[in-house]
Amino acid sequence: MSHDRHARILERLATEGSITVSTLTAELGVSDMTIRRDLIELERDGRLRRVHGGAVQTEILPAVAMDRVEPAFEARLRQGRSIKEAIARVAADIASRYRTIAIDVGTTTFLMAPHLRELQHAQIFTNSVRVAAALDGAPAEVYLAGGRIRRDELSTFGPSAIAQFESLWFDVAVLGVSGITSGGLFDYSFEDAEMKRVYLRRAGLKIALCDSFKFQRMSLVNIGALTDINVLITDEAPSGALAAALAAAHVDVRVASTASAS
C-alpha cells in the first residue's frame, strides 16, 4: 500500500509541481502522520523535497544564492526603485487601515513612509531614523525606538530599543527583508534582525516587503519562518518551491503593479 501511495504522490507532483499533506490525506484516505512518513521516505530517496505543509519536486527547486555583503543604503534605494515604489504603495494602503503601525528599516519601508503622511489618528512606531524623518510634521504620532544608531542604515538597535517595543502590541507590522526562500526570511544584520523578530512577535498582521530580485536569496541571519508572516508584497508572483512553501504557510501573496508607482 505504501508503494501505491508513493506512486500517487509522485504522479501528483509530476503534474502539479507541489502537493499539500491535507490534499493527500483527503485523496488517499489515510492520516496526516502516514502521509508525513511517506514524504520523509520519498525525500530520503531524493524523489521530492518537503516544505511546510507538503512537498515540492526536487527538479523545480532553483538554486539559492548567498549574499554576504550588505550594499549601502543609497545603492539599494536606487536598485529597482520603481518596483519598490509600487510595493511601498500597496503596503501603505494596507497599513493605513490600522491605528498602531510598526515600520521596519529598509529601502522599501522608507519609500512607504511618505504615503502615510496624511493619516490623522495613527500611531507609527519605527526603529528607522529615515522613516521617522520622512514623517516629520505629519498628523500621526511617531515613535522612534531609542538605542544605538547603526551607521548607514540609520536604524536604532540594542537592549533599550528592544525593551521599548517588546512591551507594545501593534495592529500591523511592515518588515523589509534581504531575501526569502522556502527556509524563511533573511537579513544581513544581527542588530536589525532582533527588532524584526520583535515586530513578528508583537503584531497582529505581519507584512513582508520583498521584490522578486530577492527570491531564492539568503544572507547572514534567518529572521523567521514563512509561517511567521501573513502577507508578502512583491512585484512578481513566486514560482516553484518558493510558491509552494508560501502556499503551505498560508501566506497571502500580493503582487504590486509597477504601473501604479509614481
Considering the entire predicted model, what is its pTM? Answer: 0.77
Domains and CATH numbers, the chain: 2-60 (1.10.10.10), 65-260 (3.40.50.1360)
Q: Mapping DSSP to helix (H, G, I), strand (E, B) and coil, where does residue 140 land?
A: coil
**What is the bridge-based pairing of β-strands 123-126 and 179-181?**
unpaired
DSSP class per residue in 69-110:
SPPPHHHHHHTTHHHHHHHHHHHHHHHTTSSEEEE-SSHHHH
Ordered per-residue pLDDT tens for the chain, 262 residues: 778 888 888 878 877 778 899 989 998 999 999 999 999 998 887 788 888 888 887 755 556 777 878 889 999 999 899 999 999 999 999 999 999 999 999 999 999 999 999 999 999 999 999 999 999 999 999 999 999 999 999 999 999 999 999 999 999 999 999 999 888 999 999 899 999 999 999 999 999 999 999 998 988 899 999 999 999 999 999 987 788 889 888 999 999 987 744 4
Read off the amino acid at residue 209.
Answer: L
Q: Which three cell numbers mark 214?
A: 530577492
**What is the bridge-based pairing of β-strands 170-176 and 155-157?**
unpaired
